[in-house]
Amino acid sequence: MTERHSGDLTLLLQAALDGELDAAGAMDVEGRLSADPALAAEYARLIALCDAIRTRLPRERASDALRARVIAMAQTPSQIKPTPPRRPWLLMERYRPLAASLVLGIALGAGAYGIFERPSADDDVQRTLVAGFIRGRLSGQTVDIATSDRHTVKPWFSGKIAEATTVVDLKTDGFPLAGGRVDVVGETPVATLIYQRREHQIALTEMPASSTAASSEPRRETRDGYSIFEWTEGGRVYAAVSDLPPGELDAFGAAFRRAAAAEREDTPKP
Amino acid sequence: MVLPHLDDAYGLARWLAGNQTDAEDVVQDACMRALASLETAIVERPRAWVLTIVRNTAFNWLAKNRPKAVVLTDDPQVLDAAAAHRDSAPDPEEALIAAADEVALESAIQALPHLFREVIVMRDINGMSYREIAAAIGAPQGTVMSRLARARARLVDKLGSRAA
């Protein structure tokens, strides 16, 4: 007789199964599983189920015909009618002017997503950075080393991060340095600088670029209400996350890029 | 905006509508709606946005074409009843589930009410996060979690109690 567990515990198991728990939560579940054979059996059944679905029911692919119809819908609105669907498209006339906007939509989408498919690693990185920012704000512990002196932060990082990091002083631009911390993106420890603006903070993370592009123009995105200002320079990706209004984050990004460029010129090349 | 997620869109439509022809109609219709709203919408999560439209289109389509097939029940009693008759020993059950073939899995999932089926498809087949699913179905994450839990409990029951 398998006993049923309370609803909360069942939900906890689901979250563990789907990798939606933080480290503390995962440890808690592991503890419960080892202490409770019935729970462990339930967990094993759930794992068996998910594995079976994942391995035996692959993601469906839209047929080429459908794909072609959707593309055609966007590009040549007048061509849609000759392929009659099984029921009348009464609203077709209404949508016709809008179809032109999809051409634009696809063009914009392609630009923003890099030829139709956004690299999902990028998405994961952003998610990690925003999560890090939120966690820092919630705990009040946004920095591992609190200092406004960039000459203290930089050597502190050098003991922890393989590559040299760019640390600039933006006090005159109205963004005093508050300190630094080490974030982990994927499995790579990366340097994050914290700058202060009134009651707001900006977390600027520097990472090695994964793609081949050595540099790219800055772009700003919004994720869960936080602004992200991101650019690539010299094979390094810089991403600033903040709860500042987007305009001010743009100003910060511009100031940082200016100061970093000035510093690169000062530094004698080896 | 739609194209990168066309496979996900089609996959969901296919599971909700049940066959390829209807699924393609649903997706095509959904794309028209997506076009129409693209002018005004600010889209932050394109995949969730596209799937929301596909989902709504699919439910409208089902309500119109197959009113009897739509089971939107979230009634705990129905579900508890399904859960109550699990009484076999755990190990053979797990082995049975692990051995479930494509046909058994597919029919078990198709037998789920639509609200449960869609979360299984989004999570286990499309690999979406709770947050993304919540955005797509317009419900809190807690609802996503409980529907997933119930859907999986049903599948475990069904697949675990098959005659070997």
- Condensed to tens digits (0 to 9), the pLDDT of residues B31-51 reads 888 887 776 667 777 888 889
Residue numbers in B near A58 (CB within 8 A): 125
Query: Same domain for B59 and B81?
Result: no
| φ and ψ of A228, to 5 deg | -125, 130
- Return the pLDDT at A79: 39
**How close A156 gets to chain B, by Cα (Å)?**
36
The answer to whether A59 contacts B125, with C-beta atoms less than 8 Å apart, is yes
In A106-123, which positions are buried (b, 16+ CB within 10 angstroms) versus exposed (e)?
Answer: beebeeebeeeeeeeebe
Determine, for residues A74 and B35 on separate chains, whether the beta-carbon distance falls below 8 Å: yes
What pLDDT, on a 0 to 100 scale, did the predictor assign at position A241?
A: 92
Over 50: is that where the pLDDT of B119 sits?
A: yes
Domain span at residue B144? 76-160
Identify the helix (H) or strand (E) that includes residue A129.
helix A120-139
Shared domain check, B55 and B91: no
Torsion of CA A65, A66, A69, A75, to 10 degrees: -110
Residue where the block lists tokens 């692990």:
B98
What distance in Å separates the CA atoms of residue B24 and residue B153, rounded to the nearest whole number?
30
CB contact under 8 A, A46 and B2: no
- Whether B22 and B95 share a structural domain: no
Give the strands of the sheet with A236-242, arranged side by side: A145-146, A177-185, A188-197, A200-208, A236-242, A226-233, A216-223
CATH code for the domain of B90: 1.10.10.10
Give the CATH number of domain A120-266; options: 2.40.10.10, 3.40.30.10, 3.40.50.800, 3.30.200.100. 3.30.200.100
Q: Do B109 and A57 touch (CB under 8 A)?
A: yes
Do A56 and B98 form a contact (C-beta atoms < 8 A)? no
Percentage of chain B with pLDDT > 90? Answer: 18
Q: Do B124 and A53 touch (CB under 8 A)?
A: yes
Give pLDDT, residue A239: 92
A170 contacts A249 by C-beta, under 8 angstroms: no
Q: What's the pLDDT score for residue A204? A: 93
Amino acid present at A221:
E
Give the pLDDT of residue B72.
53
Mean pLDDT of B131-139: 90
In total, chain B counts a number of residues equal to 164
- Chain B positions touching A112 (Cβ under 8 A) are none
Number of domains into which chain B is organized: 2
The pLDDT, as a whole number, for residue A212 is 64
Q: Which residue of A has its CA nearest to B86?
A: A2
CB A258 within 8 A of CB A233: no
Domain ranges of chain A: 7-56, 64-113, 120-266
| Residues B62 and B7 reside in one and the same domain | yes
Based on the domain organization, do B58 and B83 belong to the same domain?
Answer: no
Q: Are residues B29 and B94 in the same domain?
A: no
Q: Report the amino acid identity of residue A152.
A: T
Residue B80 shares a structural domain with residue B137: yes
Largest CA distance in chain B: 56
Q: Which of A81-90, B6-15, B122-131 has the lowest mean pLDDT?
A: A81-90
Same domain, B63 and B87: no
pLDDT, averaged in runs of 10, over chain A (270 residues): 61 87 85 88 89 85 86 59 44 51 54 44 79 79 81 81 84 88 83 88 87 77 85 87 88 90 70
Q: Is the ipTM of this complex over 0.85?
A: no
Which residue has tokens 């087949």?
B125
Q: What's the token pair of residue B137?
A: 């179905």
- Evaluate whether A201 touches A243 at the Cβ level (below 8 Å): yes
* Chain B hits for A225, Cβ within 8 Å: none
Q: Does A22 touch chain B (CB under 8 A)?
A: no
Are B62 and B84 found together in one domain? no
One-letter amino acid at B39 equals E
How far is the alpha carbon of B91 from chain A, nearest alpha carbon, in Å? 7
Chain B touched by A18 (CB under 8 Å): yes
Please tell me if residue A14 touches chain B, with a CB cutoff of 8 Å. Answer: yes
CA B71 to chain A, closest CA, distance in angstroms equals: 22
pLDDT in the model for residue A11: 86
Q: Helix (H, G, I), strand (E, B), or coil: what is residue A71?
A: helix
Gap between the Cα atoms of A113 and B50, Å rounded: 15
> Is there a single domain that holds both residue B99 and residue B48?
no
C-alpha distance from A191 to closest chain B C-alpha (Å): 27
Cβ A15 vs Cβ A21: under 8 Å:
yes
The pLDDT of residue A6 is 66
Q: A232: how many CB neighbours lie within 10 A of its CB?
A: 19
- pLDDT computed for residue B90 by the predictor: 47
C-alpha–C-alpha distance, residues A161 and A191, integer Å:
7
Determine the distance in angstroms separating the CA of A211 from the nearest CA of chain B, rounded to an integer.
Answer: 20
One DSSP character per residue, A139-190 reads HS---SEE-S-HHHHHHHHHTT-SS------BGGGTB-EEEEEEEEETTEEE
Does residue B87 share a domain with residue B50?
Answer: no
Q: Computed over its alpha carbons, how large is the radius of gyration of chain B?
A: 17
Q: What is the pLDDT of residue B69?
A: 59
Query: Among residues 102-161 of chain A, which lie with CB inside 8 Å of chain B?
Result: 102, 105-106, 108-109, 113, 116-118
Q: What pLDDT does residue B133 have?
A: 92
Based on the domain organization, do B112 and B135 belong to the same domain? Answer: yes
